Chain A
Amino acid sequence: MAARSSLTSTRKRRVARFHRKNLPKVQLVGKPSGMEAQGLFKTVAVQSVKKSVSAGQVLLGDEAVALGAVHAGVTASYAYPGTPSTEILEFLIRHYKREGGPKASWCANEKTAYEEALGVSMMGRRALVAMKHVGLNVAADPFMNSAIVSIHGGLVVVVADDPGMHSSQNEQDSRYLADFARVPCLEPANQQEAYDMTRQAFELSERFQVPVVVRLVTRLAHSRAVVRPQAPDEVGLLEKPVERNSWILLPAFARKQWRALLDRQPEIRRFAEESSFNRFYTGPENSGPRLGVLTTGVARNYYLENLPDLEFQPTHLHIGAYPAPAAKIQQLMESVEEVLVLEEGYPFLENQIRGLLPPHLPIHGKLTGALPLDGELNPDLVRKALGLPERPAVDLGDRPEVARPPQLCQGCPHSVAYAAIQEALASYPMPLVASDIGCYTLGALPPYSAIESCVCMGASIGMAKGAADAGLHPALAVIGDSTFLHSGVTPLMDAVAEDADITVLILDNETVAMTGSQPTILPSQGLRDLVQGLGVDPEHFHWLEAHPKQKGELTELLKREIAHRGLSVIVTGRECLEKAKLRKRAEKAAQQAQQGRQEV
């Protein structure tokens, strides 16, 4: 039988002694329970309760999620960097290095990260995987299918959306994907909720045997406030799933698992209906003009910011846990004459409430133009939607309209490659330089204006091949080292298989620069060995230092390889300047520490 086993209680958790070093030693608040009660954790608890009851900790939204995971007894966490989610793993990796556990590591991409987390869960232990919104597209295959297996140790999928596209190619809303997979989604409005919801997400994941999504947005991920932590949970035992077939998605078993997931929906909906994350701030019994306000996530902050200026109290229902609680929403709708829906991202909830047919009372929101369909919310947009006048202002004069876009650092190794490309292509009437995502995408802007596409991680190589297949010559692909290792290897295999008439330039700056200098998953030599191992003709595979002195040589090499009507791969290597700075700073600190030790 492959169906889910009984869900009556959260799995029994015991402390495995060898796991003690994995236990959080950060400040804790609250009554000792679990481990402390068993005397395993006494010293830390006693010291820290005193320290942090009043103080709490100042954390980014991302860090609050990370601390929540540590306190939930997570065994391992995985991610590929991506703004605005990067700081989740940065926190966990720092914690891992300092404390020796729980494990936390960067991965090649979001799909591999997801699958590693899934393996931890299968072994009965808690796992977290974090990514930016578009990362869930890459991990969509394991995500959708892991909703059908019987999740064992809690699996929490933290997805950080980027409304307003501060650092992204789109502003897709991950609530749709959680809904698509039929799994619960929690959406914190502040740092404390980010912490609390992450902890609850693990518990829900085990209770319903599904992955649980925690949806962040940039504004919360990258904003700091005080978080008051609670006593930590225990770490689960290592154990394989009892129902073997519940993890084997052969059609015969998968059908049963899918049915079981569908059968579980009423229970999941009941949880959302009863969740304290979905609650009336001002109740349906509220008297006053009959406006109902529905907020989700951070939109609540912008509403509460403006509330003191309203002359009446709308009936206010906030939603932080999905699936949306239908009964509570109905209760709201029955007690008011008009509804305003405030949500960050797409009009997800507004769409659901509206349904297909005309609603029986006016619903205002993004679909009616009360709020814009695109971009990020802010207190002023919400103010306008509430019908409040602008705040008083004085004329402070006009001001210069001078944009200051981001740009490559002075002396960035990428600039050498772009200068060479421009020269090498000067004589061709219609070349294509397909590119990808990273610092090097800034080569699209003046003074280089050297690249012509940036779509999704790894797309440059496949697109250059497509352009060549369409009849274009020369077709170049320009891709960063980390982007290549994330999603460029498989399209390069396609190119090798057909000896496609393209020239691929891999810009190896020995780091993931765009997101703040995380390590690439393979060192430079490993990357080069990998490319050669794919079967690229050694005569058309080259490595060159990306130094200004080498520009002439790189230009000549590019000209030769562009003239070659088959696949060529050129790796240009030189350390990113920012990474070099960080490396030297770390080396200096290590040296000072060493000296300090010797003096002692």
Chain B
Amino acid sequence: MKFDILLAGVGGQGILSIASIVANGAMHKGLFVKQSEVHGMSQRGGAVVANLRMADQPIHSDLIPAHEADMILSLELLESLRYLEFLKPSGILLTSSARVVNVPNYPPEDDLRRRVDQVPHHCLVDADALAKQAGNHLASNMVMVGAASHWLPLGLEEMEGEMAAAFSRKGEKVVQTNLKAFALGREAASWTPA
């Protein structure tokens, strides 16, 4: 068993909070995990990417090879398309429809949606709206974890346990909001054939 996720987003969106929840879940399940991150210069509002690899055997490379990722998980529409060469033919492109328009030549939204549609396995989630529905617009990351949960090699309860552990420091209300966000994200992606 091996599951490689390439996480994409814009600096400041918090792709690492997703990575850490999934990685902890995998670890507690006894899987090998490697997680490669970006720190420093590239974080300031620029394109950021992280590699998360899970397997039942030792993992060598910190980086996912080209055409090997089981999933691209993106928090931003334009960024979801930046690393397509890493996706394997059967892999899924899972992206939030949120847009961070901080460059003058940001492409039209329709154009981006059309290109996402061209990817054989894809799933677009309106994470911001669902996060608001869950009670906090900052919970869109957990909406995306919920959406991803259909494909991840982790059980539902394991995932929820990790989230509760990650947010418990911030109080019960925050835990509940994030669990709700997770559930909404999971539901939104449930129609997608796995």
Cβ-based interface call for A379 (8 A): yes
Residues of the A chain whose Cβ atoms lie less than 8 Å from the Cβ of B82: 399
Query: Which residues on the A side are within 8 Å of B33 (C-beta)?
Result: 58, 224-226
Q: Is B155 an interface residue (CB 8 A)?
A: no
Whether, in the assembled complex, B136 has its beta carbon less than 8 Å from a beta carbon of chain A, the answer is no
Please tell me if the beta carbons of B62 and A298 are within 8 angstroms of each other in the complex. yes
Distance in Å from the Cβ of B161 to the closest Cβ of chain A?
A: 16
**Per-residue CB proximity of A77-101 to B under 8 Å, as 1/0?**
0000001101100000000000000
Q: Is the CB of B37 within 8 A of A406?
A: no
Give chain B interface residues in 129-167, CB to chain A under 8 Å. Answer: none
In the assembled complex, which residues on chain A have CB atoms less than 8 Å from the CB atom of B104?
A: 446
- Taken together as a complex, chains A and B put the C-alpha atoms of A390 and B85 apart, in Å, by 11
Shortest Cβ gap from A56 to chain B (Å): 9
Given A399-B84, A402-B78, 15 new contacts (CB under 8 A): A84-B40, A86-B40, A167-B40, A223-B62, A380-B65, A380-B66, A391-B65, A398-B115, A399-B115, A400-B107, A400-B112, A405-B46, A407-B45, A409-B45, A516-B39
A563 at the interface (CB under 8 A from B): no
B6 sits at the interface (CB 8 A): no
A304 within 8 A of B: yes
- Which residues of A lie under 8 Å from residue B59 when comparing CB positions? 225
- B22-37 contacts to A (CB < 8 Å): 23-24, 27, 32-37
- The residue that B42 contacts in the complex, of A86, A166, A402, with Cβ under 8 A, is A166
B174 at the interface (CB under 8 A from A): no
Could you say which residues of chain B place their CB within 8 Å of the CB of A399? 81-82, 84, 115
In the complex, B184 has a CB within 8 A of chain A: no
In the complex, chain A residues 429-483 whose Cβ is within 8 Å of any chain B Cβ: 439, 442, 446
Partner of B63, one of A219, A403, A446: A219
Q: How far is the CA of A399 from the CA of B85 in the complex (A)?
A: 11
Binding site for B on A (CB under 8 A): 58, 60, 83-84, 86-87, 166-167, 219-220, 222-226, 298, 300-302, 304-306, 378-380, 383, 390-394, 396-400, 402-409, 439, 442, 446, 514-516
**Set of chain B residues within 8 Å of A406, measured between Cβ atoms:** 11, 41-46
Q: Is B111 an interface residue (CB 8 A)?
A: yes
Query: Is there contact, CB below 8 Å, between B40 and A302?
Result: no
Q: Are A402 and B106 in contact (CB under 8 A)?
A: yes
Mark each residue of chain B from 78 to 89: 1 if its CB lies under 8 Å from any CB of chain A, else 0: 110110110111
The number of A-B residue pairs with CB atoms under 8 Å apart is: 150
Is the CB of B119 closer than 8 A to any CB of chain A? Answer: yes
A243 to B33, CA, bound (A): 49
Q: Which of A224, A378, A439 contacts B37 (CB 8 A)?
A: A224
User: Binary interface profile of B, 60-84, with partner A (CB < 8 Å = 1, else 0)?
Assistant: 1111111110000000001101101
The contact of B120 among A305, A306, A379, A394, by CB within 8 Å, is: A394
Q: In the complex, which of the residues B11, B37, B45 contacts A223, with contact meaning CB atoms closer than 8 Å?
A: B37
Minimal beta-carbon separation of B165 from chain A (angstroms): 14
CA distance A223 to B82 in the complex (A): 21
**Cβ contacts under 8 Å, B39 to chain A:** 83-84, 86-87, 167, 222, 516
Least distance between A189 CB and chain B CB atoms (Å):
9
**10 A–B contacts, CB within 8 A, in A order:** A60-B37, A83-B41, A166-B42, A225-B33, A378-B63, A391-B66, A393-B85, A393-B88, A396-B120, A442-B44
Residues of B contacting A400 in the complex (Cβ-Cβ under 8 angstroms)? 78, 81, 107, 111-112, 115
| B10 at interface, CB cutoff 8 A | yes
